Amino acid sequence: MKKITNGLWCLLLVTMVALLATGCVQDSTSYPNASLLITGDQLEELISSQTTNMVIIDARDYGNASQKVPGSINLRWKEFVNSSVNLKSVAELEKLLGAAGLSRDKKIIIYDNAMHSWGSAGRMFWMLEYLGCDDVHILDGGWDKWMEEGRPTEDMYAMELEAATFTASVQSDRLATKEHISSRLHDADFAVIDSRTFQEYNGWTLYGEPRNGHIPGAVNISYESFFNPDSTILGYEELKSLLEGNGITTDKEVTSNCTVGIRSGFVYFALRLMGYSRCSNYDGSIIDWGADAALSMDKMENYQSLVYPAWVAALISGDNPPTYQDKGYVIVETSWTPEYTTDPTDYSIGHIPGAIFMDTYDIENGPSREPMYDSAHDSNVKPIPDLQNLLGGIGISADKTVVVYGNDIMSCGRVAWALLYAGVNDVRVLNGGYDAWIKYGGGTEGTVNTLPAVEFGETEGRPDLFATMEQVKSVVEGSSTGITITDDRSWDEYIGASNSYYGYFDEKGRIPQAKWIGDWTELVGSDINTVQSMGIVKKNWAAAGFSPDKKMYFYCGTGWRSGLYTYYAYLLGWPAANYGGGWYEWSTNPDNPRETGEPK
């Protein structure tokens, strides 16, 4: 019986292999509309077979390019927009496309150089589908991948096709308008993807936008996040996770926007590839939306405090970047360094030119680094006068611009909060940290930098950013109103099932009346060095019952996670304070009540 069973299994395996080879069994992890994406092998085969009904569109801006895919014609998205950067009239588009040799019955394959073209292939794809073309495709990886694989090219020349008749069959639901978006903004089955960079989304104006910020409720999924390092689009599972992780599900109508509808054109393509049946591109995008003062926009209240590599580069080169107060600056790399180590630190290996180093322990209380607490101290952060002395001693004064970066966003948030608390007026965090700087192409150095000591300046600091145990107790006892005690530890810590500080203490539970906001990782973006999109954070906070009309007292175990939360609230402009003593101070005081279990 066993021999027969094994034989059947062998036969079944052989059959499955044969079916897979002939394409009769569909891969469950393939894109629902996989045919929209053309591989290099497929395009090269089409070129070799001299397919007559095919048009290959090179959507790159020529620039200094000297080679192109054989037989391709160059069409640029700019040729098809009016002075307002919206699509030209259908009649004009028909005339232009027909003159270029296109008709709706052609097989059209488009390519660009992904990271340099800002989604121009996607923009062309969207326009052609909007006009009724139903055999349009994008070359996966574009020109970059084509060259990397050593595929055939030809000299760049203005190739012309025989003129054709292009008769549009307009698919109006593919083109989003500000009127339609504004009418659907608050509907549960509607979503907007803002495909710009985090800095544009948060409030930086980089391209002459009429106003800063984004469409209210829009989710920020940057154009770059749709690609692998080799410029190919993410695989099915990764793309599914990216979209659904941001609440973009197939049951929703989804539109995309950027600055002028180019990057968002590629997002439209990605949605089509993934089988979204109701998707569109807003060609006017933020230029169009921002020009209408009747339409609201959202932004980080203190967006300028979250900077990007190009801003830091401009600062270093003396170019006086936007929002810089021009009172001098200090760049601080921060991380935790073990007390006893001979290993080289990240800072000594390489850092942003001119940056000084601050050990995260420098802002701590107590005579020793391990453990962080002793009987003489409640909070593990220095009081304001001590912080000011520390900062002045390393060259930081209250009027300087201080840029903080490191190898994880929690440490950066903690230190940035402490700087604000001490009274530094202009604190910035480099989103993405050192990795983002390197990816940008910023220079590095290994020199250990120090600055001469300075007077910090006369200021009381920002005591409103710090909550004491007595202040928290007054909320618990009901004598203080308009304040929410906010627990940002893990769920297991919140309900008293665990305590992550066994090295210091083993008390379990939570402060009475505390509401759980989520583990600190909800504030982490695409990697440990970045912060999460404000759209997602505000949505999560609102769902948890938080709002900007009540001050939040954040607490964790020892004030680290809650430091990041307090800094993030500062970015949003929400009133908040860090209970620096945290669960350690509260739980080790026998007079303080506590709760365990799930809240009723």
What percent of the chain lies above the pLDDT cut of 90? 76
Domain count, the chain: 4
- The verdict on whether omega for the bond into residue 353 sits within 30 degrees of 0, i.e. cis, is no
Q: Is the pLDDT of residue 322 over 80?
A: yes
Q: Quick: pLDDT tens for 341-361.
A: 555 578 888 999 999 999 988
Q: Which of these three, 461, 490, 510, is where a domain ends?
A: 461
Whether residue 471 sits in one domain with residue 574: yes
Residue 146 has pLDDT above 60, yes or no: yes
Q: 140 lies in which domain range? A: 34-172
Gap between the Cα atoms of 566 and 586, Å rounded? 19
The span from the CA of 551 to the CA of 184, in Å, is 31
Query: What is the reported pLDDT for 29?
Result: 53
Cβ-based neighbours of 266, under 8 Å, separated by 6 or more: 119, 121, 122, 123, 125, 195, 223, 226
Give the pLDDT confidence score for residue 343 in this predicted structure.
57
pLDDT interval class at 26 (50, 70, 90): very low
Final residue belonging to a domain, choices 172, 202, 221: 172
Residue 554, beta-bridge partner list? 486, 578
Alpha carbon of residue 356 to chain centroid: 27
Task: Check pLDDT > 50 for residue 368.
Answer: no
Question: What distance in Å separates the CA atoms of residue 53 and residue 73, rounded to the nearest whole number?
Answer: 14
CA nearest to 309, candidates 189, 199, 183, 447: 199
Provide the pLDDT for residue 348: 86
278: domain CATH number is: 3.40.250.10
8-state DSSP, 84: T
pLDDT score of 345: 73
Residue 124 has pLDDT above 90, yes or no: yes
| Claim to verify: residue 136 and residue 202 sit in the same structural domain | no
Residues 528 and 456 occupy one common structural domain: no
What is the spatial distance between Cα 543 and Cα 498, in angstroms, rounded to a whole number?
25
Entry field: residues in the chain:
600
Selection from 267-276, 406-415, 545-554 with the highest mean pLDDT: 267-276
Residue 325, in any domain of the structure: yes
pLDDT over threshold 50, residue 305: yes
- Considering the domain architecture, whether residues 443 and 349 belong to the same structural domain is answered as yes
Q: Do 41 and 84 sit in the same domain of this protein?
A: yes
Asked whether residue 594 is assigned to any structural domain, the reply reads: no
- The per-residue pLDDT of the chain, averaged, comes to 89
Sign of CA dihedral 21, 27, 32, 36: negative
Domain closes at, from 240, 264, 290: 290
Q: Percent helix, strand, coil in the chain (nearest 5)? A: 35, 15, 50
DSSP string for residues in 312-370? HHHHHTT---TT--SS-EEEEEEE---SS--SPPHHHH-BSTT-EEEEGGGGB-SS-SS
pLDDT digits over 566-599, tens only?
A: 999 999 999 999 999 999 899 989 999 999 999 9
Write down the pTM of the prediction: 0.87
Q: What's the pLDDT band for 23 if we cut at 50, 70, 90? A: very low
